[in-house]
Amino acid sequence: MLLEVLASLPVYLALLISFFAAWMFFLKSYVLLMGDWELQQEMRLTLERIAQDAASATYIEVKEPRAIYVERYVKGEKCSVDYALREGKQDMPPYISKKVSGGPYGYSVPQPMTGGRNIFGNLAVVDFFCEEKDGLLFLRLTGENRRTKKRINFSTAVPLPKKNE
């Protein structure tokens, strides 16, 4: 019996090592897939939030192709929101910042809406573009998962508010 155990031990070890290798491969694939999913969700939600604010705006100003100023009313109080593409500090990726002014909803410094590192990836905003044209505000957001090098684009158009004359 000892001879049979000694003879079968290499086969069991080979099977165990191959199962472990397969498990590690699937775990790595899962982490990469979740990173790309996280990128897609973060970019989609960010653009959706910007579009919602723009859709409810009473005044919109495109300060530059990568910054937008939105004025709207929240519970009857005037509130302004600045969105801008900013460079990250100390090897951190670029991100979209949001600064809200006015009423109890404001805060003093811009807050990041996107980017940063997590277990699934290093997410960065590669491009944020806004343009007024033909009564519409065109918005485009491009993000990248720096771990997988996958890029994703989202774009939308929102009607500009009517100008009071």
Q: How many helices (H) and strands (E) does the chain have?
A: 1, 9
Q: Which residues contact 139 (CB under 8 A, 6 or more apart)?
A: 47, 50, 51, 54, 68, 129, 130, 155, 156, 157, 158
Q: 98: which 2 tokens?
A: 């949001």
- The tens-digit pLDDT sequence of the chain (165 residues) is 888 888 889 999 999 999 999 999 999 999 888 888 888 888 898 899 999 989 988 899 898 888 999 988 877 788 888 888 888 777 777 888 888 887 666 665 666 676 666 666 678 888 899 999 988 999 999 988 888 889 999 999 999 988 764
Q: pTM of the entire structure?
A: 0.77
Residue from 97, 105, 50 nearest 74 by CA: 105
At residue 113, the 3 state secondary structure works out as coil
